[in-house]
Structure 1
Amino acid sequence: MDLLPRSHTEFTSPEYWDSFFKKRGRKAFEWYGEYSNLCGMLHKYVKPTDKVLMVGCGNSRLSEDMYDVGYHSIVNIDISDIVICQMTERNAEKREEMTFEKMDVTQMTYDDGNFSVAVDKGTLDALAVDQEEATLATVNAMFKEVSRVLRLGGRYVIISLLQDQVIQILVRHFSQCSWPIRIHRVDAPPEESGEGGGDNFSLPVFAVVITKFKDMPNMKQIVEVCSGEGSPQRLDSIEQLLSTVKEMQYYGIVRHQLATKQVKEKQLQINLFSHLASSARYSMWVVDSDHRCDNKFAIFIVPQGRETDWMFSTDAGRKLLSESAGFERLVVVVLSREHEYESMDSIKAELSSKVMELAPPSHKKGVQVPFLSIGEDIGSRTVRHRGHSQMSGDYIVEDAEGEADQTFRRLVFLANQNLVQSEVRLVAPPSEKKKKKKGGKKGSGSLQIDKSYLACGHHHAMVAGLAFLPEQVSKPKVLLVGLGGGPLAAFINQHFPQVQLEAVEIDEEMSHVATDWFGFHHNNNVTVHITDGLDFIAKLAQKDEKQDVVMFDVDSKDSSIGLSCPPPAFVTPEFLKTTADTLGDEGVFVLNCVCRDASLQKSIVERISDIFSCVTCVDIPQEVNKVIFASKSFKATADCAENSDAARSQKELLQSVSKAVQKLDRDIGKVSTSCDVNLAGCIADLQILSMK
């Protein structure tokens, strides 16, 4: 039987509703839940002695159920003759004090202030189908009439799905008179929350409680949200209210989707907030297996300090983690930097009820869900410094525990907490190491920066770019655009004292961070320029001051086109030509490229190939980064590696690289061993992409 309208505008038509209730018959149609779902909220705002107006009653049993528990002063109105007749007949004997009247809610005949409470279950949603002028006129007329018949201090309770157009119209109207707005999310049992189909909805149901106040134009509007049985939380603005409702709706849809099927094509992310704090307390990724597993459902808690590990911060890593764990659905939980946690047990207690809502359809009720992690504790993470950058927003410098009981210092921009901008390793000084061997404890305040460590694979490859320099260059001039926290610059300065390094950084705050927290220091071999890298290189080209190596390691603040590093302006044909003009005839260009758009990445390589005679690149394992090397001097005569000339050319290139490495640092083997940088391995991975 087709009970849905052909066009949503029919919701405003009395003829539609007459037809609807004829088809429906005497069976109650419960928009958005029954009395059992709503009673907890209704009893907070409606007293048994209140005179209640039920707006657009339909044939719902809500007013009947309320009457049966003591609410006898209820007036029901609807625009449908048929439903009013049905409801009058149905209640004539058992509920004599309750009345039913045919009436248009936009033109009511009741006296001003006649009711203590008005209850609207689905009527607003039926009328507010869009934001056309006629619709707005109808809805605003209803709001004005309901406001008129309510007494001062009376409450208007709206049960709604709060679709975008509905909540926009609602808050716009009642913000003009500054009446308090409180929104409840109405919890329903799983079998009644839309997971079984039928008349139910996957969107969450809300109850909006609006209290009639005297008009006070200068009064700040009270805006609150209440999730489930929790206490109401005061919000700062209507914008925050809209955002919070949107999050609840997203979670409702996701919960419905996860309860009815597996989601293999995408890992869904859900953020859980505590007391409506500005930052999420938990971030969770739902990872479904590609095949059936005996074990159905588990929760994995990522220890603090490990959230940026590849295994936990990328889709591919979490997929591998799921396969290793062997569960049909694995929920990977990351703990926020902005919150504190007592213990693993307290986290389990906090999450146990919420994560059950994410169980797969194959999970049997009553089966205990295991919580997994690495080790038995929740890890350690200590914020050492908080700051603000005009370029990147708020940031923190934190010390965190990693694998094998190692400690790392990290720079993290709070706008992108899953990405570590800079990292160094902290180690105990020699005296502390001796103490530890004798059984003493590592002094937490005495750790120092290990300058022989490079955290990022792409930095390993960029350092290897120095090996492309010819042997006769004894004191290479290297320009690094993008200082950040300074680990790459500090490493080059520490281990290649021959290099005359100039670093360009647009954000002065980052220069302070690098110096104060990441062991970067100025000396005779290092100069830092606080300026725009684009302008600096343009002026350098005009001066005809040649560099031996130019490195780009600068991130983009706009990744909407799929290019996170560098900013698009750095890889235009014109600027690449300008960059080439700053290099000597045997100079080397090194670019750290982070691009998720394969066609754009190919275009960038082609642009570089148009300018440089040899373009070589390396893909960084477990990173999105691709490091591109370009030279104006290396000559090759073949197009593919299968050609013997091409193979010989590549072999000669690798041999010259090896010699150059030895020239730059005679003790390179010692450096490689102590700093975890395998230059030979980086070079061996190089692939000739384009040769002219």
Structure 2
Amino acid sequence: MAELRLLPKCAEEFASAAYWERFFRGRGERAFEWYGEWEELRPTLGRYLRLRDSILVVGCGNSELSEQLYDVGYQDIANVDISEAVITQMRERSARIRPKMSYLVMDVLQMDFPDERFQVVLDKGTLDALLTDQEEAALSRARRMFSEVGRVLQFGGRYVCVSLAQAHVLKAAVDYFFQEGWMIRIHQLSSNRGDASKGKFALPIFVYVMTRIRHVPGSALHILELCAEKQDKPVRFNSIEHLIEAVKERQQYALLRSQLNKTSSSGSISLDLCNKDTGQARYLLHVVHNLAVKVSRDNQFAIFIIPQGRETEWLFGTEEGRKQLAASAGFRRLVTVALHRDQHYEGMEAIQAELSEKVMELAPPDLSAHQQVPFLSVGGDIGIRTIQHRDTSTLSGEYVVEDVKGDDAHYFRRLIFLSNRNVVQSEARLAPRTPHKGEMKGNKKHKKKKKEKAASGDPVKLTTLPDNQSIDKSYLCCAHHRVMVAGLCLLKNPECLPEALIRVLVIGLGGGSLPLFIHDYFLQSCIDVVEIDPAVLDVATCWFGFSPGDRLKVHIADGLVYISSLAAKAPNTYDAIMFDVDSKDTALGMSCPPAAFVEETFLQKVRTLLKTEGIFILNLVCRDSILRDEVMAIIRKTFPLLYARRIEGEVNEILFCQQQTRQKPTSVDLRGTAKILEKALRQPGRAWDSTYVLSDILEAVKLV
């Protein structure tokens, strides 16, 4: 209990002289060590301390570090602390056996030493204690301390600070000494796997080495470096932000390792690994535990590299999918590795070499150091991804249009909003057109040049997409779009639909594949598409082959406002209304549609717009089971006839809602109707995707 009473009431007390006086009087002669002893710090500190150096230890407390330094030969050491009690104690302890050691009561914010007195100022935890937060009072204390450190150091002298490198502490130190033109190098101290479980810090310990160098007029040279553990050669950064981000990444990695060594749950943990040169995210790691696997020597740990472009698939892009992947792979702990866009990768072997040491730190603590860990993947290569267009929408933020190679010979074009980078907003299959003779010759010459370069040993980038492709409008990439189109079978006289005059309202354009397919295959259909974001229309037109016309019109408007306005003016207008609109609020358990689109008063307006035998088709993406049940109850109040079709391997659920209470068709009736419609759609001379079988899709529809 006495130990507990020594703890401060608040963090600010760490900067108080009265607190430390009380602390050391209460603690007695037992040494209080922050962040390790000499033997642990020696590999790093020894690089910057010379036996002949005059060393100032600031905020020495009753740490044994100075005594240990003295005993191994560093004898020109002065120690200062704000606590008179601890200075008296340390003088008495060393007076006889360390006669050249000096201990002085002194405030590091205002020291009595002359200018340029020391070659080294050594700080173990004092800066962390002074800079308790990022308020101006604490930052002012830190700047006064830095100023005093700079004053008492000679040119070529080093401020060596052992710290936890909390974000505000690191930024304050780096900002100050960068502005002063000092050389900045940060070391991460080596740690053994599992240290945190033995009572040590889960966060890694860092050592700042700030070297005072003479400023050369006209020189803009700034040196910012990081030495990660087990890495002798420092990595140089071109900005403070990149250096700080790299330290943060090391801290997150250490916390992850600590959490992994303690966890017994089957949940997953994720982390970004950054490019060591730029600080940009390079790999996204997910660590998945599969406690159901019986552990053997060969199935404890594996790494799974996800090919580019496939990280959005359910199996790789969701926690549920990754759990299934780990179970099917049969490993107790599986690390999935997704490759970030905007990063260049040479190939699978290069990625394995780059990841080997870092990912091994995530291995179970009892894994043998000599155990070979398998790298797994799909198809044996890293896939192909090429960004075709990048821009920013004022409504949706930054987005990219990219082409990726599928798991077969086809390529696909995708629209992805980077605010939710694991979700494909829209997708279309690319159809290669037949090249002209001149193009054929050009391609042969191009391939010949590639072979010649490969033979000469020069690097060859082979991950380029064919540039002679157009959009395959007959193919619906998104499974939920296929189901939504199949739901039109529930309209009256489906065999007549391809030639019937039907009106369809689609809320949410995306790449335009859904309304374009309806336009092309339901030849008399008139389609209104409502899209709130004009940037999306530009993308659909320029990159996804979408083209408005007399029967296909786009309205740039808020879907809520458009439907509310139209319901008052033109009831009973549409045969089908489709919602395929996502929510920008990622905090909700429902990502599609936004909550306002399934409120009862709004759904009444949707019903008003529908013809009596019309159908309302909703793409529902809801991970919250309670919220889903609430939504279903609201829809059922408005539409008595409700069918649901879940998308296998995805969260999407397509709801077919009708207001009429005619005799409910059976699954056999639905399949028969679907066959009739499909036969009507598959006309000679019109392209049709042979994998799109409407009757199979409707077989899984259930009455809710």
Fold agreement, TM-score > 0.5: yes
Q: Is residue 359 from structure 1 mapped to residue 363 from structure 2 by the alignment?
A: yes
- Tell me which of 504, 508, 513 is aligned to 1:487: 513
Query: What is the TM-score of this pair, normalised by structure 1?
Result: 0.83
TM-score (norm 2): 0.82
- Distance in structure 2 (CA, Å) of the matches to 1:586 and 1:83: 88
Question: Which residue in the other structure is 2:477 paired with?
Answer: 455
What displacement does 1:555 show? 1.1
Instruction: Give 1:598's aligned residue.
Output: 625
What is the Cα deviation at residue 358 of structure 1?
A: 0.4
**2:187 and 2:213 mapped to 1: Cα distance?**
23
Between the aligned residues of both structures, percent identity stands at 42
Is it true that 1:303 corresponds to 2:307 in the alignment?
A: yes
Q: What are the superposed Cα offsets for residues 99-132 of structure 1, whole Å, 9 maximum, x if unpaired?
A: 2234454564434554444322122334555679
Equivalent residue, structure 2, for 1:684? 699
Structure-1 residue corresponding to 2:492 = 470
Q: Which moved more, 1:318-327 or 1:136-145?
A: 136-145
CA 1:431–1:163 in 2, change beyond 3 Å: closer, same or farther?
closer
Q: How much has 1:54 moved relative to structure 2?
A: 0.6
Please show how residues 44-123 of structure 1 align to structure 2 within 5 Å.
50-67=53-70, 71-79=74-82, 84=87, 87-88=90-91, 91=94, 95-105=98-108, 108-111=111-114, 114-123=117-126
User: SS of the residue aligned with 2:535?
Assistant: helix
Q: Contact 1:302/1:333 (CA < 8 Å) preserved in 2?
A: yes
- CA contact 2:287–2:333 (8 Å) conserved in 1: yes
Does the 8 Å CA contact 2:397/2:419 hold for their aligned counterparts? yes
* Equivalent residues in 2 for 1:191-270, closer than 5 Å: 194-198=195-199, 200-209=200-209, 224=224, 226-228=226-228, 229=231, 230-235=234-239, 245-258=247-260, 260-270=261-271
What code does the residue aligned with 1:249 have? Q
Corresponding letter in the other structure for 2:504: V
- Cα–Cα, structure 1 residues 244 and 430, in superposed 2: closer, same or farther, change >3 Å? closer
With over 3 angstroms needed to count, the CA separation of the structure-2 counterparts of 1:667 and 1:130, relative to structure 1, is closer
Query: 1:266-317 CA distances to partner (integer Å, 9 max, x unpaired)?
Result: 2100110013636411111101112332111111111223222222111122
Quote the Cα distance in structure 1 between the aligned partners of 2:136 and 2:344: 49
> Kindly tell me: are residues 373 and 669 of structure 1, through their superposed partners in 2, closer, same or farther at Cα, counting changes over 3 Å?
farther
Distance 1:332 1:121 in 2: 38
Q: Which residue of 1 aligns with 2:673?
A: 659
1:342 Cα offset (Å): 0.9
2:610 maps to 583
- In 1, the alpha carbon distance for the partners of 2:173 and 2:632 equals 51
What is residue 157 of structure 1 aligned with on the other side?
160
CA distance in 2, matches of 1:339, 1:283: 12
> Counterparts of 1:578 and 1:465 in 2: how far apart (Å)?
21
Residues 1:338 and 2:345 aligned together: no
Name the aligned partner's letter for residue 420 of structure 2: N
Contact 2:189–2:207 under 8 Å retained in 1? no
Q: Does structure 1 retain, via aligned residues, the 8 Å contact 2:113–2:152?
A: yes
**Following superposition of structure 1 onto structure 2, how do residues 426-575 of structure 1 map, counting pairs within 5 Å?**
426-429=430-433, 444-471=466-493, 474-544=500-570, 546-575=573-602
Q: Secondary structure at the match of 1:13?
A: helix
Partner amino acid, structure 1, of 2:262:
K
Per the alignment, in what secondary structure is the counterpart of residue 405 of structure 1? coil
Matched with 1:643 is none
| Residue 369 (str. 1) matches residue 373 (str. 2) | yes
- By how many angstroms is 1:177 displaced? 7.8
- Calculate the aligned-residue CA RMSD, in Å: 3.9
Q: Deviations over 1:523-580 (max 9, x none)?
A: 3321122222223223322321511111111111112122211222322333222222
Q: After the TM superposition, which residues 590-669 of structure 1 pair with which residues of structure 2 at under 5 Å, given as runs?
A: 590-635=617-662, 649-651=664-666, 655=669, 658-659=672-673, 662=676, 666-667=680-681
Tell me the CA shift for residue 201 of structure 1.
0.7
User: Counterparts of 1:416-431 in structure 2 under 5 Å?
Assistant: 416-429=420-433
Alpha-carbon distance change, 445 to 214 in structure 1, aligned in 2, over 3 angstroms: closer
CA distance in structure 2 between the aligned counterparts of 1:157 and 1:475, rounded to whole angstroms: 80
Displacement of 1:482 in angstroms is 0.7
In the alignment, which residue of structure 1 is the partner of 2:27?
20
In 2 relative to 1, CA 220–504 (structure 1 residues): closer, same or farther, beyond 3 Å? Answer: farther
Q: How has the CA–CA distance of structure 1 residues 548 and 299 changed in structure 2, closer, same or farther, with 3 Å as cutoff?
A: same
Q: Is there any run of 5+ residues in structure 2 with no aligned partner, and where?
A: 448-463
2:237–2:278 contact (8 Å) kept in structure 1 = no
Distance 1:663 1:374 in 2: 37
The answer on whether the counterparts of 1:490 and 1:519 sit within 8 Å (CA) in structure 2 is no
List gaps (5 residues or longer) in structure 1: 637-648
2:459 equivalent in structure 1: none
Q: Could you tell me how far apart the structure 2 residues matched to 1:232 and 1:15 are?
A: 43
| 8 A Cα contact 1:467 1:657, kept in partner | no
Deviation at 1:377, TM superposition (A): 2.3
Deviation at 1:7, TM superposition (A): 3.1
User: Relative to 1, partners in 2 of residues 1:263 and 1:396: Cα closer, same or farther, differing over 3 Å?
Assistant: farther
Cα distance in 2 between the residues matched to 1:344 and 1:145: 52
CA, structure 1 residues 321+177, in 2 after alignment: closer, same or farther (shift >3 Å)?
Answer: closer
Rounded Cα–Cα distance in structure 1 between residues aligned with 2:392 and 2:133 = 42
